[in-house]
Amino acid sequence: MGTALIYLLVVVVVAAAFFGVAALVFGRGEELAPLAPDATPTRLPSGEIAGEHVRSLRIPQAVRGYRMTEVDWVLDRLADELDRIGAERDGLAGRVAELEAARAGAAPGNIAE
């Protein structure tokens, strides 16, 4: 009977030591703090977003997940739209620069206000 108690005591001490080492290595099991309401783990540049940024975007999957083909299609469509809008914006900016240069080249007395 005394030997069984010694074995039991040794098992308890080894289990407690194993638990202590595991708790030090892996932490106490606390959860991470939730993200701020406006934060996301998905990264996009803070400035202008181009189609290449959207194409390289990968949304993390959850247990219940999402249909990857549908999300990829939406991202491709969004990337194409961003490319189109960016090209249109650049064209309009170029046209504005041309008009401002033409206006600056005109005689100051000929400008109607």
Q: What is the pLDDT of residue 71?
A: 77
- Tens of each residue's pLDDT in the chain, 113 residues: 788 889 999 999 999 999 988 888 877 666 767 766 665 566 777 777 778 888 887 777 666 777 777 777 778 888 888 888 999 999 999 999 999 999 988 856 555 54
CA-to-CA separations, 2 to 9, 12, 14, 80, 96, in angstroms, rounded? 11, 15, 18, 78, 96
Q: ∠ CA 79-42-66 to the nearest 5 degrees?
A: 75
DSSP line for 17-40: HHHHHHHHHH-S-PPPPPPPTT--
Q: What is the pLDDT of residue 94?
A: 96
Q: Quick check: pTM over 0.75?
A: no
User: Rounded to 5 degrees, what are φ and ψ at 61?
Assistant: -90, 150
CA-to-CA separations, 20 to 6, 16, 29, 31, 69, in angstroms, rounded? 21, 6, 13, 19, 46
Q: What is the pLDDT of residue 7?
A: 92
Residue 27 · residue 48 · CB < 8 Å: no
Residue 89 identity (one-letter amino acid):
R
For residue 86, count other CB atoms closer than 10 A to its CB: 14
Q: What is the pLDDT of residue 68?
A: 75
